[in-house]
Structure 1
Amino acid sequence: MLSRTRAAIFLLMATLRPRLTWHQQFLEDVERMVDAAVLLLSHLVQAVKVLTIIVRQGRIKRMIEMADGSAFTKPESKLKAIRETTIRLAAIIGNVILCSACNTGIFWCIVPALNTELTLPLRTAYPFDIDGPYIFAAMYAYSAISVTVSGVGDAAENFLVSGMFTIASAQLDVLREELKAIGTEGSTDNYEKAKLCVKYHQQIIGYVEEMADIFGLPMFCQFVTSSVVICMTIYKITVTKEPVEMVTMVFYLICVFMELLMYCYPGDVLLYKSMLVAEAAYPSEWSGDQKTSRVLLLTALRSQRPLAIDAGGIFRVSLPTAAAVVKTSYSYYALLRQQLSK
């Protein structure tokens, strides 16, 4: 009786083994597909950003010169302090982002060396044989360097857009301070100051519109692909069994979240500060002359329409959009897990 039971168990195991092997092979294929999808989408977005900078580098240089020029550089100590504080904050954020990109690239290069079977950091197909010791070492070094340089370059591209957002927000703070100074005790030539504030406001609006026209397409591509990339990265984190690989993907997920926040948070701040201009332009206790009040009223009316950037005419660059992207990513992930469980 015992021998018959053992025979039945062995027969059942022999029957299930091909199925288990097929199931394991299926999961491995899905994991490779996830790796390829994350890599493809990340490089496609980065290619759009690089092409945008190359094709429109003249316009970008003019925007940078405008930010450093006399139009956006105020000599007054209080106004100068606002600009310098903003620049220091932007520099700190940029350094944090670059460090995160470097750490992600380093971990990405370390993971293959810790596996039982040494592979390249980028597990893709190559049109030539890479099994030789010299060619494998050369391709490993090339992949490691390219991954790190690509990550740092992508972070720098994102920081360029985020920095321009931050500069525009700082200029709105300066504009509000100049508007509040009109009509105060001891102030003279209120009408001339009001006209200068109107021109200054128009320059800020033109700066933001030019920025939206230049970087609208890269931001649109970033929002479209981020939901899929976040979904695939979360799936990779849940299925991996290697601790170092899990840490690598967590770092990569943080970088993707930071990419969204680098666009959405400064865009949300810009939108909010642009709506505060109306309050500074025409306060409730205003008692100045009628000529100046008309100019300030026009500024207040224009400020009722916030300075918001719509990437591709669809996605509003703000924090609610970032939340919507994350929510969509989780929906994709839940659907993917449900389909794989079947």
Structure 2
Amino acid sequence: MGFTIQDYNLRKTFTIEKKLLLFAGFYPRRTSKNKYAYVLGATVNLFLSIAQFLSMLMQLIVNRNDLSKLSETLQYFITHTTFICKLTNFVVYKKNLLNIEDTLEMPIFYGFSHDHLKLLKQKVAACENVGTVFRVLCVAAVAFWALPPYLDPAKSKSLPIPGWFPYNVTDYYYPTFAFQMIGIANTAYTNSTIDILTWMLISVASGQFEILKENLKDIDYGSPDLTKTNESFKNCVKHHREIVRFVYKIENTFSKGIFLQFFASVIVICFTGFLMIIVPVVSMQFALLLTYFLCMMCQVAMYCWYGHDVMTTSNTIGQSFHMSNWYDSDLTIRRDVIIFLERTIKPVTLTAGGYVTLSLTTLTGILRSSYSYFAVLRRLYSDL
């Protein structure tokens, strides 16, 4: 007997991310329960994000002629601006998440053997482990932003990130410090949760493709029961169609935010690398930059990795079909088989903004671009 939604509910694969975003006030709800707490959470988070953005924008204007200070401010400003854009995209398309949840309750995604379910569970478990590592990196980065004023004498009474305020910061240092740290933690909290939610949904799609491939292998085309064979094959065709629709729903919801993330990553990785060569290696600042660099690398690499995984698993569906005894099939279903195989020739791909394919090739392109800009920035700095 195949597994049912009671055995393994696909909606529960991202329960943690859903709860975290509900607490922040951004995940869509089906009821009006705790409405005011939900609105309050979203309002506070948006206020912190916008206030932080305006503070850094003014600082950029003030330090526009100082390359070193400009780089330091831009490093976090670009990340924060991208986060606001990603959050805006998420809020605009958040109703799609309810549709995605409904899709994951469709019977076509269930009813397979428990051995096949293990393939999906392995994908989900691997993504959970990656998400845990990413969260640890984010927590470490936030901690490193908070520690220098207390552990580094040279940074005494300095703010975690550059920012302009319409008053003497020294007079209100601790409230200002708390404001910035809460803002940084809020950005890391929400941004990382949106990323992990996206990775988890893509992993579910990839796991479903793996199950589909196993189901295609298991069909006995030489069976005398032609009705059963035809029904099994048509079920695979329907399964494939619904997985593709599921992938496109993910793309429609997150694509624009991912595109902005890729664009920002090129610049942020460049600036972070530049700052790492001008600060002492044995310092809190270097530890912060290294942790932040790893966060950015993990963030962009995982989008490319999981997008590439969907592309490769969907691209090998035809190979799995040919591993069955398809040559024993009846002529009545061969026409449907040919049409299905033609549809699977083109791999299913996820794109960023409808332009950039999520793949390892894209990742190498991002790193190559970052290094090019890094080389230019280093040359400009050495000429000063």
TM-score (norm: length of structure 2): 0.77
Secondary structure of residue in 2 paired with 1:298: helix
Residue 83 of structure 1 corresponds to: 120
- Read off the aligned partner of 1:262 and give its amino acid letter: M
Q: Is the CA contact 2:90–2:257 (under 8 Å) kept in the aligned structure 1?
A: no
Q: Is the CA contact 2:73–2:161 (under 8 Å) kept in the aligned structure 1?
A: no
Q: How far does residue 75 in structure 1 lie from its aligned partner after superposition?
A: 4.7
Residue 171 of structure 1 corresponds to: 208
Residue 192 of structure 1 corresponds to: 231
- Read off the aligned partner of 2:70 and give its amino acid letter: M
Identify the range of structure 1 (38-47 vs 263-272) with the bigger mean alpha-carbon deviation: 38-47
Match of 1:209 among 241, 248, 256: 248
The 1-side partners of 2:120 and 2:324 are apart by: 28
Q: How far does residue 150 in structure 1 lie from its aligned partner after superposition?
A: 1.4
Tell me, yes or no, if structure 1 residue 296 matches structure 2 residue 337. Answer: yes
Q: How far does residue 68 in structure 1 lie from its aligned partner after superposition?
A: 4.5
Instruction: Say which one has the larger Rg.
Output: 1
Identify the range of structure 1 (288-297 vs 43-52) with the bigger mean alpha-carbon deviation: 288-297
The 1-side partners of 2:106 and 2:165 are apart by: 49
Q: How far does residue 243 in structure 1 lie from its aligned partner after superposition?
A: 1.2
Q: How far does residue 137 in structure 1 lie from its aligned partner after superposition?
A: 0.9
Residue 274 of structure 1 corresponds to: 314
Task: Assess, with a 3 A threshold, how the Cα gap between structure 1 residues 142 and 271 changes in structure 2: closer, same or farther.
Answer: same
Residue 19 of structure 1 corresponds to: none
Q: Is the CA contact 1:281–1:299 (under 8 Å) kept in the aligned structure 2?
A: no
Secondary structure of residue in 2 paired with 1:71: helix
Q: How far does residue 187 in structure 1 lie from its aligned partner after superposition?
A: 8.4
Identical aligned pairs, as a percentage?
22
CA-based RMSD of the aligned residues comes to: 2.1
How do residues 1-342 of structure 1 correspond to structure 2 at under 5 angstroms? Answer: 29-113=66-150, 114-116=152-154, 117-132=156-171, 135-183=172-220, 188=225, 189-241=228-280, 243-283=283-323, 285-286=325-326, 287-342=328-383
Identify the range of structure 1 (266-275 vs 75-84) with the bigger mean alpha-carbon deviation: 75-84
- Read off the aligned partner of 1:178 and give its amino acid letter: N
What is the CA deviation profile of residues 311-332 of structure 1, one whole-angstrom value per residue up to 9, with x for unaligned ones? 2232111011111111111111
Question: Which blocks of at least 5 consecutive residues in structure 2 are unaligned?
Answer: 1-62
Q: How far does residue 297 in structure 1 lie from its aligned partner after superposition?
A: 2.1
Q: Is the CA contact 1:180–1:281 (under 8 Å) kept in the aligned structure 2?
A: yes
The 2-side partners of 1:277 and 1:338 are apart by: 49
The 1-side partners of 2:129 and 2:224 are apart by: 37
Task: Assess, with a 3 A threshold, how the Cα gap between structure 1 residues 87 and 155 changes in structure 2: closer, same or farther.
Answer: same
- Read off the aligned partner of 1:190 and give its amino acid letter: T
Secondary structure of residue in 2 paired with 1:119: coil
Q: Is the CA contact 2:157–2:173 (under 8 Å) kept in the aligned structure 1?
A: no
Identify the range of structure 1 (98-107 vs 48-57) with the bigger mean alpha-carbon deviation: 48-57
- Read off the aligned partner of 1:248 and give its amino acid letter: L
Q: Is the CA contact 2:119–2:207 (under 8 Å) kept in the aligned structure 1?
A: yes
Q: Is the CA contact 1:38–1:232 (under 8 Å) kept in the aligned structure 2?
A: yes
Secondary structure of residue in 2 paired with 1:45: helix
The 2-side partners of 1:214 and 1:146 are apart by: 25
Question: Which blocks of at least 5 consecutive residues in structure 1 are unaligned?
Answer: 1-25
- Read off the aligned partner of 1:249 and give its amino acid letter: L
The 1-side partners of 2:349 and 2:374 are apart by: 30
Q: How far does residue 225 in structure 1 lie from its aligned partner after superposition?
A: 1.3
Q: How far does residue 67 in structure 1 lie from its aligned partner after superposition?
A: 2.5
The 2-side partners of 1:52 and 1:253 are apart by: 24
Secondary structure of residue in 2 paired with 1:125: coil
The 2-side partners of 1:120 and 1:73 are apart by: 52
- Read off the aligned partner of 1:293 and give its amino acid letter: R
Q: Is the CA contact 2:220–2:325 (under 8 Å) kept in the aligned structure 1?
A: no
Q: How far does residue 112 in structure 1 lie from its aligned partner after superposition?
A: 2.8
